A and B are shown apart, each in its own frame.
Chain A
Amino acid sequence: MKHRTFFWFFFPTAAAMLLFIAFPIVSVLTQSVFTPIEAVLIEVENCGPFGCTTETSIDQEATQALRDAAPFGRFVGFQLYADRNHLAFAEVGELWRTSDSVGAFFGAVMNLPFYDALAFTLTYTFICTPFLIALGFAIAVAVNSLHRRLKGLMIFFSLLPMIVTPLIGALVLSWMVDSRGILGNFLSWLVNDPDLSVKASTPLMWICLIVYGIWSSAPFAFVVFYAGLQTVPEDTLESAQIDGATRWQQIRYVIIPHLAPLVTFVALIQLMDNFRVLEPILGFGAQAHAQSLSTFILSDLSGETRQLSSAATTSVLTIIGIAILLTPVLIRTWRDFNAKSH
């Protein structure tokens, strides 16, 4: 293709990517290195139904004048990235110096909000992703071997978790595992402990969130693998059958190698998705037991005082986190691509 032709061919995509991907990221980055101008505080008398009190308030005129002079706010560089509510470099350094053992050090680091959230986010991501791939694959193989008439119905049922709005799905499961819910009661009967409460126990809550994560994302893997199964070459399968391969051997040596590139694709998408876990935590009301980077962003933005710069910082850290997670997968894809082109 001529360079000129290529340019005009690629131009609309490039423009859209610039507009919808690059600019917002630049904007978030900018937001994260600027914070609001220091407010000018004054003592004022406030009166209302319950009488008058002297309280601190913001001197709007004086503050506005300062803000007009510096519309972007205060430039603080990467200070927010280093502060206690994000990477907490100073606090981690201090703990490293003062902790007696590595165990105590990690325990203390987990008390810092960012690392606590990161611990859950990574556990969730690395347990959910392989399990949902395996489950999605199993469903795809099972549905594919069904009779033609049953397939449509089964595909529909298998897709249901994906069709249900994530927040609603999480809420339904949350009510079921409640100490007064059907699953909660069943579990407490099963282990013969009337005081057992899933929602009061951090490990059980994590298990619930992970089970929900697998349940809600498995249909995505299923759809991709099911589509992939339709392209498995019939003659290869037939020759395997003639050679006397069992069903398991056919899956192991014909189907799985054929679908391997799709596994990379599903892993890529799901790593990204799971790293941004938000809905199940809200749906289960699990904020006491599990936080993620996304719940931090939400909490920064939904408080009575919105912390835009802090939210922007967490967003940039999320992007960096996803980039690190995806590097191995991307390197692998790049290698495969090079291997094919040679």
Chain B
Amino acid sequence: MFLKKIAVAGAVAFMGTTALAGGHAACPTEGRVSIVGNEFPAIQTVGAGAMSCAGDAVDVSTNLTADHQTINVPGMQGNPAEYTSAIIANSSIVALMNEDVIRPLDDLVAEYGDGLKPNQLITINGQVMAVAFMANAQHLVYRSDILEQVGAEPPTTYEEMLETAEAIRAAGILENPVGGAYAAGWNLAQEFNNMLLGYGGSHFKPGSAEPNVNSEAGVNALNMMKALSEYMNPDFLTHDSNATNAEYRAGNTALMNMWGSRAATLVTAEGVPQEVIDGFAIAGPMTVGGGDTPATTLWWDGFTVAKNISDEDAAATFIALKNAIDPAILEDPEVPTQAVWLIDGYEPTPAAVGVFAAANAGSIPYPMLPFMGLMHTALGNELADFMQGNESAEQALADVEAAYITAAREQGFLN
């Protein structure tokens, strides 16, 4: 793994140099670049690309960790900010916006941004606040060999998923064929978000911060999750994405809703049985309850630039990160498989099928609302009681709304 990282970093550094010679991309000549972000493979590539710009007058450092969300705001609130850039997604940019720690990028894009595609620019109220470089979504991952054994097509709806799961169980192939990141907390809340949108529900009353989850769509969403959980490993409330992937790798799961950014590396881990590698297949996200909108959300990942830093450091950060997402990085055969890149010249690989299908089917982007984080936290804390059968769906959703309203009042979003 370490060798691979070095190789990727080396390749990126090499391409950075060739690109520089070709005049496509350039590194900053001076300044400080300090990046905080998540740690999945595509972001490692971007971090390595920025690191390749380090030089005598350019100080580049990265801190890529799964805990980035808890450190990026405090790390950007100081003056000067510790981090000159945070790599974020459409959910986490909200926290940076709420705290007003990132700067509009319009001048930087005008001066150094040639080659960026318009759909990469995340504009909020007319100002560019982030540059996106990849898209992500949750979609179906399944085992084609097991589905063939029971003579089933890959499900396109959650109702079909339940039928197929029953067929697999009845055939005695797997006792718990369905997988899902249902760990109490963030993951469980995210699965509810998917299902709620799939049933045509919404989190908030239109144009306000008033919650709207205790609705028919919300109850249906919970009941569907409960029905799915009957086909899951009984420990499902402790399974996050990593544990769910481990179950799939071990051959214990035949159907699951999983992140596109994890699909490429799902069966490349050591010790995965051959039948899992051969049977590994992905498809688009499923719909539910006869709806047209897939029960999933669309995500982008992109970079921001801190507000509390000098203009020189901001320019250096922008240039270094733009260099890191230069189309030249796609020449490394490893890189295109890591994500659905939004950068010019990207050709979708087989691993990208699911995310593309999600985007084409009109999936809804994860809401970029100032109070969505509070709703997500409230859902994560309150839904586990229902999943364990301790209370009714209506009671759980009423609890969610009460917890959310309390938090939103405290934060000044509701009166």
Interface set of A (CB-CB < 8 Å, partner B): 35-39, 41-50, 53, 55-58, 60, 63-64, 74, 80, 83-85, 91, 111, 113, 174, 178-180, 195, 197, 199-200, 202, 284-289, 291, 299-307, 309-310
Which 10 pairs from chain A and chain B are nearest by CB?
A: A304-B373, A305-B373, A197-B234, A44-B125, A288-B184, A288-B384, A285-B238, A38-B412, A303-B377, A288-B237
A314: min CB distance to chain B, Å: 12
What is the CA–CA distance of A195 and B411 in the complex, to the nearest angstrom?
44
A168: min CB distance to chain B, Å: 16
Instruction: Return chain A residues, CB-CB under 8 Å to B300.
Output: 48-50
> Across the interface, do B387 and A288 meet the contact criterion of CB distance under 8 Å?
yes
User: Which one, A91, A195, A202, A310, contacts B407 given CB within 8 A?
Assistant: A310
- Please tell me if B65 contacts chain A, counting CB pairs below 8 Å: no
> Across the interface, do A305 and B238 meet the contact criterion of CB distance under 8 Å?
no
| Seed contacts A39-B413, A46-B123, A48-B122; 20 additional CB < 8 Å A-B pairs | A38-B415, A43-B207, A44-B124, A44-B126, A48-B123, A49-B135, A56-B209, A57-B369, A84-B403, A113-B403, A195-B234, A200-B388, A285-B183, A285-B184, A285-B240, A303-B373, A304-B372, A304-B377, A305-B377, A307-B407
- Please tell me if B79 contacts chain A, counting CB pairs below 8 Å: no
What is the CA–CA distance of A299 and B377 in the complex, to the nearest angstrom?
8
Instruction: Return chain A residues, CB-CB under 8 Å to B403.
Output: 84-85, 113
Which of B91-99, B281-289, B313-321 is the interface stretch?
B91-99
Instruction: Return chain A residues, CB-CB under 8 Å to B377.
Output: 299-300, 303-305, 307
Q: In B51-101, which residues have CB < 8 Å from any A CB? A: 69-70, 73, 90-92, 94-95, 97-98, 100
Instruction: Return chain A residues, CB-CB under 8 Å to B100.
Output: 60, 63-64
> Across the interface, do B98 and A50 meet the contact criterion of CB distance under 8 Å?
no
A310 in contact with B410 given A55-B369, A178-B235 (CB within 8 Å): yes
B75: min CB distance to chain A, Å: 13
Interface string of B162-198 (1 = CB under 8 A from A): 0000000000000000000001110000000000000
A42 in contact with B413 given A48-B90, A200-B235, A304-B91 (CB within 8 Å): no
What is the CA–CA distance of A195 and B399 in the complex, to the nearest angstrom?
30
> Across the interface, do B415 and A58 meet the contact criterion of CB distance under 8 Å?
no
- Please tell me if B337 contacts chain A, counting CB pairs below 8 Å: no
What is the CA–CA distance of A200 and B391 in the complex, to the nearest angstrom?
16
A109: min CB distance to chain B, Å: 13
What is the CA–CA distance of A225 and B360 in the complex, to the nearest angstrom?
68
Instruction: Return chain A residues, CB-CB under 8 Å to B135.
Output: 49-50
User: Which one, A56, A60, A200, A299, contacts B381 given CB within 8 A?
Assistant: A299
> Across the interface, do A301 and B70 meet the contact criterion of CB distance under 8 Å?
yes
What is the CA–CA distance of A23 and B235 in the complex, to the nearest angstrom?
44
The residue in chain A whose Cβ has the minimal distance to the Cβ of B372 is A304
User: Which one, A46, A111, A178, contacts B399 given CB within 8 A?
Assistant: A111
Instruction: Return chain A residues, CB-CB under 8 Å to B120.
Output: 49
> Across the interface, do B119 and A49 meet the contact criterion of CB distance under 8 Å?
yes
What is the CA–CA distance of A32 and B92 in the complex, to the nearest angstrom?
25
Q: In B301-339, which residues have CB < 8 Å from any A CB? A: none
A44: min CB distance to chain B, Å: 4
Q: How many residues on B have C-beta within 8 angstroms of the other chain's C-beta atoms?
A: 70
The residue in chain B whose Cβ has the minimal distance to the Cβ of A301 is B70
The residue in chain A whose Cβ has the minimal distance to the Cβ of B186 is A303
Interface centre among A55, A174, A302, A303 (most CB of B within 10 A): A303
Instruction: Return chain B residues, CB-CB under 8 Å to A284.
Output: 238
- Please tell me if B365 contacts chain A, counting CB pairs below 8 Å: yes
- Please tell me if B45 contacts chain A, counting CB pairs below 8 Å: no
> Across the interface, do A305 and B371 meet the contact criterion of CB distance under 8 Å?
yes
Q: In B359-415, which residues have CB < 8 Å from any A CB? A: 359, 365, 367-374, 376-377, 380-382, 384-385, 387-388, 391, 395, 399, 402-403, 406-407, 409-413, 415
Instruction: Return chain A residues, CB-CB under 8 Å to B371.
Output: 305
Instruction: Return chain B residues, CB-CB under 8 Å to A307.
Output: 374, 377, 407, 410-411
Instruction: Return chain A residues, CB-CB under 8 Å to B380.
Output: 299
Instruction: Return chain B residues, CB-CB under 8 Å to A44.
Output: 124-126
Instruction: Return chain A residues, CB-CB under 8 Å to B407.
Output: 85, 307, 310
Interface set of B (CB-CB < 8 Å, partner A): 69-70, 73, 90-92, 94-95, 97-98, 100, 119-126, 132, 135, 183-185, 207-209, 233-238, 240, 252, 298, 300, 342, 359, 365, 367-374, 376-377, 380-382, 384-385, 387-388, 391, 395, 399, 402-403, 406-407, 409-413, 415
Instruction: Return chain A residues, CB-CB under 8 Å to B207.
Output: 43, 56
> Across the interface, do B365 and A39 meet the contact criterion of CB distance under 8 Å?
no
> Across the interface, do B406 and A56 meet the contact criterion of CB distance under 8 Å?
no
A83: min CB distance to chain B, Å: 5
Show 30 residue pairs from A and B whose CB-CB distance is below 8 angstroms, ordered by the A residue. Answer: A37-B412, A39-B370, A41-B209, A42-B125, A44-B124, A45-B123, A47-B123, A49-B119, A49-B120, A49-B132, A49-B300, A56-B369, A57-B370, A63-B100, A80-B410, A84-B402, A84-B403, A84-B406, A113-B403, A197-B233, A199-B234, A200-B236, A288-B184, A299-B185, A302-B69, A304-B373, A305-B373, A306-B73, A307-B374, A307-B377
A53 in contact with B234 given A36-B411, A39-B413, A288-B384 (CB within 8 Å): no
What is the CA–CA distance of A291 and B382 in the complex, to the nearest angstrom?
11
> Across the interface, do B395 and A46 meet the contact criterion of CB distance under 8 Å?
no
B283: min CB distance to chain A, Å: 20
Instruction: Return chain B residues, CB-CB under 8 Å to A299.
Output: 185, 377, 380-381
> Across the interface, do A179 and B234 meet the contact criterion of CB distance under 8 Å?
yes
> Across the interface, do B95 and A55 meet the contact criterion of CB distance under 8 Å?
no
What is the CA–CA distance of A130 and B184 in the complex, to the nearest angstrom?
31
Instruction: Return chain A residues, CB-CB under 8 Å to B402.
Output: 84, 91
User: Which one, B132, B183, B209, B388, contacts A48 given CB within 8 A?
Assistant: B132
A53 in contact with B406 given A179-B234, A304-B69 (CB within 8 Å): no
> Across the interface, do A47 and B412 meet the contact criterion of CB distance under 8 Å?
no
> Across the interface, do A287 and B411 meet the contact criterion of CB distance under 8 Å?
no
Instruction: Return chain B residues, CB-CB under 8 Å to A178.
Output: 235
User: Which one, A39, A43, A302, contacts B70 given CB within 8 A?
Assistant: A302
